[in-house]
């Protein structure tokens, strides 16, 4: 690059190269500051993403059960219709019957398990092996732990209360926190149960917001006069959890910001030192016809370059730290690579450069406004 | 060369002075310059009613003991300091009251400086040091000019040397080349031989002579009697007053 193109940048680079160790040390402050902000931000964000991923299903489900305190034992077909009306367009309503029974496998082993009865299991359960039918008419869906315990797989027979059912699917282990735990349960068609009322209704809502609206609607309609049903809906708790994580993140970033402030002071100090050292030289430049603003610009560019250098290295190290987190923890790569983490890298970088620039302003201003006569007087 | 300029008298006004030189004004002129400082409660008068006319191609030596106001005079001539009263004329133009930006531009265009301590940047090559005053300009041929100037002061084989690899005399010659990079009309030197031995001092002064031959005026403030040997004219500052010798 010729001086004629970007003189301030060329001069600033020259000046920074003159005392490499000092420049590197000044930039190191910014490296640490940016690293602190970016990694604390990303770690907090990863924590939030990971937590919300496992709590995610919780926020989208509304579980309506009879209010046992008021003597309710089941939900009637009319209740179901009401719930369906409220949930129209917002989610899928799955009425469930539940019971407990001994389940025996072919090998003779048996275990006590929760038995769910529903015709529409696909909205709630996922298969690990086999398929979960949209309309459930025959056969059994067996939870993964139970299947292992009984030694059954897709195609095996299980015996429940004297009836044989063919296993059509083994359910995937439930990762979500939810009152419906399929791991050690068997899902049968509704017809396997004695016809009658339902024990609970699960509404799989399309979103957390829909879940809140459904819960609100069900309370309005079914509990208008008396508390007939209890409505279990966690999306508002989820909101609070999210708020907590936001707070935690701000706190972590605040901690990181402290180190960036320290870095700013270091840059301030280094700039002040190096301009004092170069006083004579700055006086000379002013004497030979270099304008104040050119001196000012050069010194501000010097500080900014330190920030860019430090910020860049800081960002690289932060990426390294995030990958290390993925390597040593069970957190999934897609959470580490979530675009929202990039925001923290960007924010940390921008702050690093801004802090450097701000720290360089006063020393630069002071140097540019030196009287050349004073500056040249040793 | 014009070493025969008579001292300015009270009757000769600046306008007449300018008219006297075939319509060309002298490059640098002080008229009745007084400079006062506030030195710890009392007023220090560093220059008292100083008149000085520097003609093109003239080598003027300014002698005087420490504290006689030599540096203040050089700074005033170099537009680094402004007089409390009096006028500074550059090519006949009154520049006394110009602001910092305008004076900075004029310094670049008209004036070159040479200092006792050279003020070379140790990490830059000789060529880069010489081209330093042009570094903020879009001056594409500055490097070529710098090399040419170094060649003229006898450092054609030291272009890429850095100051620590150069002797005192060589450093001062680099500084002289730097002072000439913007083709000034006046070169101001503050104790140019102060850090040099006699032989090296002579080489540097010889350099000043050659510069004068090309029409550039040189004003050197100094303690060094050697300088007067080479100067066309020597003036002496005593307690802020100028006396022609």
Mean confidence (pLDDT) of chain A: 86
Which tops the pLDDT comparison, A154 or B245? A154
Provide mean pLDDT across the span A324-347.
Answer: 90
Q: Where are the domains of chain B?
A: 54-80+99-244
Cα gap A203→A233, rounded to integer Å: 10
Question: Angle at CA A361, nearest 5°, toward A356 and A366?
Answer: 140
Q: Where are the alpha helices (DSSP H) in A73-177?
A: 77-87, 144-150
Question: Is A187 buried (19+), middle (13-18) or exposed (0-12) by CB count in 10 A?
Answer: buried
Indicate if A250 and A304 belong to the same structural domain: yes
- The residue written with tokens 């102060």 in the block is B194
Indicate if A270 and A350 belong to the same structural domain: yes
Provide mean pLDDT across the span A228-256.
Answer: 84
Cα gap A301→A283, rounded to integer Å: 19
Smallest Cβ–Cβ distance between B133 and the set A288, A371, A376 belongs to A288
Q: Is the pLDDT of residue A350 over 90?
A: yes
Question: If interface means Cβ-Cβ distance under 8 Å, which residues of chain A face chain B?
Answer: 2-4, 7-8, 10-11, 14, 17-18, 280-281, 283-292, 294, 371-373, 376, 378
Q: What is the dihedral of CA A294, A296, A301, A302, to 10 degrees?
A: 110
Indicate if A50 and A171 belong to the same structural domain: no
Find which of A6, A281, A287, A372 to mutate to test the B interface (most B CBs within 10 Å of its CB): A287
Nearest CA in chain B to A284: B119
pLDDT at position B5: 45
Query: Assign residue A117 a region: left if phi > 0, alpha if psi is -120 to 50, beta otherwise?
Result: beta
Cα gap B50→B205, rounded to integer Å: 26
Indicate if A97 and A49 belong to the same structural domain: no
Indicate if A264 and A359 belong to the same structural domain: yes
Which tops the pLDDT comparison, B51 or A135? B51
Which tops the pLDDT comparison, B153 or A3? B153
Interstrand relation of B186-190 and B217-222 (parallel, antiparallel or unpaired): parallel
Smallest Cβ–Cβ distance between B107 and the set A2, A18, A287 belongs to A287
Quick check: B64 contacting A, CB < 8 Å? no
Residues of B in contact with A376 (CB under 8 A): 115, 119
Indicate if A214 and A254 belong to the same structural domain: no
The answer to whether A289 contacts B124, with C-beta atoms less than 8 Å apart, is no
pLDDT at position A159: 87
Which tops the pLDDT comparison, A14 or B32? B32
- Looking at CA atoms only, how far is residue B28 from chain A in angstroms? 17
A60 in a structural domain: no
Which of these ranges, A57-71, A121-135, A141-155, A286-300, has the smallest mean pLDDT? A57-71
Provide mean pLDDT across the span A4-19.
Answer: 83
Provide mean pLDDT across the span A219-244.
Answer: 82
Q: Is the pLDDT of residue A148 over 50?
A: yes
Contacts of B90 (CB under 8 A, 6+ apart): B27, B28, B29, B79, B106, B110
Indicate if A245 and A341 belong to the same structural domain: yes
Which of these ranges, A256-270, A293-307, A333-347, has the smallest mean pLDDT? A256-270
Quick check: B136 contacting A, CB < 8 Å? yes
The answer to whether B108 contacts A288, with C-beta atoms less than 8 Å apart, is yes
The answer to whether B182 contacts A289, with C-beta atoms less than 8 Å apart, is yes
In total, the C-beta contacts within 8 angstroms joining chain A to chain B are 77
Smallest Cβ–Cβ distance between B78 and the set A18, A287, A378 belongs to A287
Interstrand relation of A185-188 and A110-117 (parallel, antiparallel or unpaired): parallel
Q: What is the dihedral of CA A111, A115, A121, A126, to 10 degrees?
A: -30
A62 in a structural domain: no
109-128 of B, contacting A, C-beta below 8 A: 109, 111-113, 115, 117, 119, 121-124
Cα gap B176→B154, rounded to integer Å: 11
* Residue where a domain stops, chosen among A192, A227, A262: A227
**ipTM computed for the complex:** 0.85
Q: Is the pLDDT of residue A55 over 80?
A: no
- Looking at CA atoms only, how far is residue A360 from chain B in angstroms? 20
Provide mean pLDDT across the span A331-358.
Answer: 91
Indicate if A170 and A267 belong to the same structural domain: no
The answer to whether B137 contacts A7, with C-beta atoms less than 8 Å apart, is yes
What residues in chain B have per-residue pLDDT under 50? 1-22
Q: Residues for chain B: how many in total?
A: 245
The answer to whether A290 contacts B138, with C-beta atoms less than 8 Å apart, is no
A256 in a structural domain: yes
Number of domains in chain A: 2
pLDDT confidence of A302, banded at 50, 70, 90? very high
Provide mean pLDDT across the span A90-118.
Answer: 86
Q: How many CA atoms lie within 13 A of A53 on its CB side?
A: 12
A149 in a structural domain: yes
Which tops the pLDDT comparison, A73 or A248? A248
Across the strands, what pairs with B38?
B43
pLDDT confidence of A216, banded at 50, 70, 90? confident
pLDDT confidence of A133, banded at 50, 70, 90? confident
Please give the model's pTM, rounded to 2 decimal places.
Answer: 0.72
Q: List the one residue out of B239, B122, B104, B110 whose CA is nearest residue B171.
A: B122
Nearest CA in chain A to B76: A373
The answer to whether B104 contacts A3, with C-beta atoms less than 8 Å apart, is no
Q: Is the pLDDT of residue A170 over 70?
A: yes
Residue span of the structural domain in which A261 resides? 7-55+240-376
Which tops the pLDDT comparison, B25 or A378? B25
* Residue where a domain stops, chosen among A194, A227, A260: A227
Residues of B in contact with A378 (CB under 8 A): 117
| The CATH number of the domain covering residues in B54-80+99-244 | 3.40.50.300
């Amino acid at each position: 690059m010729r001086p004629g193109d970007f003189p301030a940048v060329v001069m600033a680079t020259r000046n920074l190269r003159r005392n490499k160790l000092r420049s590197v040390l000044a930039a190191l402050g910014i490296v640490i500051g940016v690293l602190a902000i970016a990694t604390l931000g990303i770690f907090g964000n990863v924590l939030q993403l990971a937590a919300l991923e496992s709590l995610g299903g919780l926020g989208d489900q509304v579980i309506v059960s009879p209010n046992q305190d008021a003597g309710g034992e089941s939900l009637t077909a009319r209740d179901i219709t009401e719930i369906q009306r409220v949930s129209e367009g917002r989610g899928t309503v799955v009425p469930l019957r539940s019971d407990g029974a001994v389940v025996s496998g072919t090998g003779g082993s048996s275990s006590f398990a929760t038995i769910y009865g529903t015709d529409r299991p696909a909205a709630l359960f996922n298969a690990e092996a086999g398929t979960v039918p949209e309309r459930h008419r025959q056969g059994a869906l067996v939870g993964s732990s139970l299947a292992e315990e009984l030694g059954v797989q897709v195609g095996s027979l299980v015996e429940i209360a004297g009836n044989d059912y063919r296993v059509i699917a083994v359910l995937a282990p439930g990762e979500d926190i939810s009152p419906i735990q399929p791991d050690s349960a068997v899902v049968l068609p509704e017809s396997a149960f004695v016809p009658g009322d339902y024990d609970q209704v699960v509404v799989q809502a399309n979103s957390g917001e829909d879940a809140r609206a459904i819960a609100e609607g069900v309370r309005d309609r079914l509990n208008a006069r008396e508390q007939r049903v209890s409505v279990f809906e966690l999306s508002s708790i989820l909101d609070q959890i999210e708020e907590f994580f936001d707070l935690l993140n701000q706190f972590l970033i605040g901690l990181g910001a402290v180190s960036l402030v320290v870095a700013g002071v270091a840059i301030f100090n280094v700039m002040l030192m190096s301009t004092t050292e170069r006083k004579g030289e700055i006086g000379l430049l002013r004497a030979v016809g270099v304008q104040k603003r050119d001196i000012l610009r050069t010194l501000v560019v010097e500080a900014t370059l330190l920030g860019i250098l430090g910020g860049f290295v800081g960002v690289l190290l932060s990426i390294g730290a995030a990958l290390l987190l993925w390597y040593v923890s069970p957190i999934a790569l897609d959470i580490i690579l979530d675009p929202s983490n990039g925001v923290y890298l960007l924010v940390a970088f921008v702050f690093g450069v801004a802090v450097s620039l701000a720290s360089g302003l006063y020393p630069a201003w002071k140097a540019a406004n030196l009287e050349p006569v004073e500056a040249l007087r040793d | 060369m014009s070493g025969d300029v008579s001292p300015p008298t009270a009757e000769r006004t600046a306008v007449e002075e300018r008219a006297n030189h075939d319509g060309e004004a002298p490059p640098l002129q002080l008229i009745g310059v007084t400079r006062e400082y506030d030195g710890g409660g009392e007023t220090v008068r560093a220059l008292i009613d100083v008149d000085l006319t520097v003609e093109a191609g003239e080598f003027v030596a300014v002698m005087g003991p420490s504290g006689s106001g030599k540096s203040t005079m050089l700074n005033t001539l170099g537009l680094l300091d402004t007089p409390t009263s009096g006028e500074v004329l550059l090519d006949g133009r009154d520049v006394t009251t110009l602001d910092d930006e305008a004076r900075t531009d004029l310094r670049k265009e008209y004036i070159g400086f040479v200092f006792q301590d050279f003020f070379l940047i140790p990490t830059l090559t000789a060529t880069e040091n010489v081209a330093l005053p042009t570094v903020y300009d879009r001056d594409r041929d500055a490097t070529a000019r710098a090399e040419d100037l170094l060649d003229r002061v006898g450092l054609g084989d030291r272009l890429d040397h850095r100051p620590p690899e150069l002797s005192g005399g060589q450093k001062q010659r680099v500084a002289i080349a730097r002072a000439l990079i913007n083709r000034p009309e006046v070169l101001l030197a503050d104790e140019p031989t102060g850090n040099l031995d006699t032989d090296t001092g002579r080489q540097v002064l010889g350099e000043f002579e050659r510069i004068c031959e090309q029409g550039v005026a040189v004003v050197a403030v100094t303690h060094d009697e050697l300088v007067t040997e080479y100067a066309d004219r020597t003036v002496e500052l005593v307690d802020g007053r100028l006396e022609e010798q």
